């Protein structure tokens, strides 16, 4: 059986040593076995291929911006030797996350359009003032246009959420 020390597990999984310790502390991964566990000085954490697989799963889920609570739910079937991908909860969590992403894309496209209106090419130049923020309008965003810009159309066509 191949075993890994924590630094090797970090390298193999793409998760930092500090984060592995954190995941262990919050119970997202089981407490690692220890080499020389009976020693009064403790011992090094020892990980096996199964542990590395779990860490990789967590790493991939975090790269997809899933939350730790969602990941915890997704990992439950693995404790019984089942693949999370075959579970209904897997589908539900990913569908919900996809909806959240679509909402964020829509908000970001709107934000982009608002910021675009602040650029001099998109609005009349504001006469320089003495720096009084009470009368400065340089951060006032015009009401969002209902007509999307060409750039917004391009971005929307890439994600497909606004069509």
- For residue 34, the surrounding DSSP H or E stretch is strand 33-34
Burial 48-69 (b: 16+ CB within 10 A, else e): eeebbebbebbeebbeeebeee
| Residue indicated by tokens 């592995």 | 20
The whole-number pLDDT of residue 160 equals 44
Q: Which residues of the chain have pLDDT under 50?
A: 38-41, 152, 155-163
Quote the pLDDT of residue 133: 74
- Residue 144 is given by DSSP the state P
pLDDT for residue 125: 57
Cβ distance 156 to 147 under 8 Å?
Answer: no
Q: What is the pLDDT of residues 75-103, one digit of tens each?
A: 999 888 899 998 999 999 999 999 999 99
User: So where are the chain's domains?
Assistant: 3-86, 95-124+142-163
CATH number of the domain at 3-86, please? Answer: 1.10.1660.10
What is the C-alpha to C-alpha distance for residues 163 and 22, in angstroms, rounded to an integer?
A: 41
């Amino acid at each position: 059986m191949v075993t890994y020390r924590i630094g090797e597990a970090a390298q193999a999984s793409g998760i930092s040593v500090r984060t592995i310790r954190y995941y262990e502390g919050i119970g997202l991964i089981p407490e690692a076995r220890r080499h020389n566990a009976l020693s009064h000085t403790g011992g090094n954490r020892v990980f096996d291929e199964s542990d590395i697989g779990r860490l990789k799963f967590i790493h991939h889920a975090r790269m997809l911006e899933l939350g730790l609570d969602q990941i915890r739910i997704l990992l439950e079937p693995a404790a019984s030797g089942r693949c999370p991908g075959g579970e209904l909860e897997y589908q539900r969590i990913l569908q919900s996350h996809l909806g959240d992403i679509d909402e964020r894309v829509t908000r970001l496209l709107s934000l982009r359009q608002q910021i675009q209106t602040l650029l001099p090419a998109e609005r009349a130049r504001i006469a320089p003032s003495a720096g009084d923020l009470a009368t400065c309008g340089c951060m006032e965003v015009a009401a969002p246009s209902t007509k999307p810009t060409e750039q917004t159309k391009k971005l929307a066509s890439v994600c497909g959420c606004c069509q």
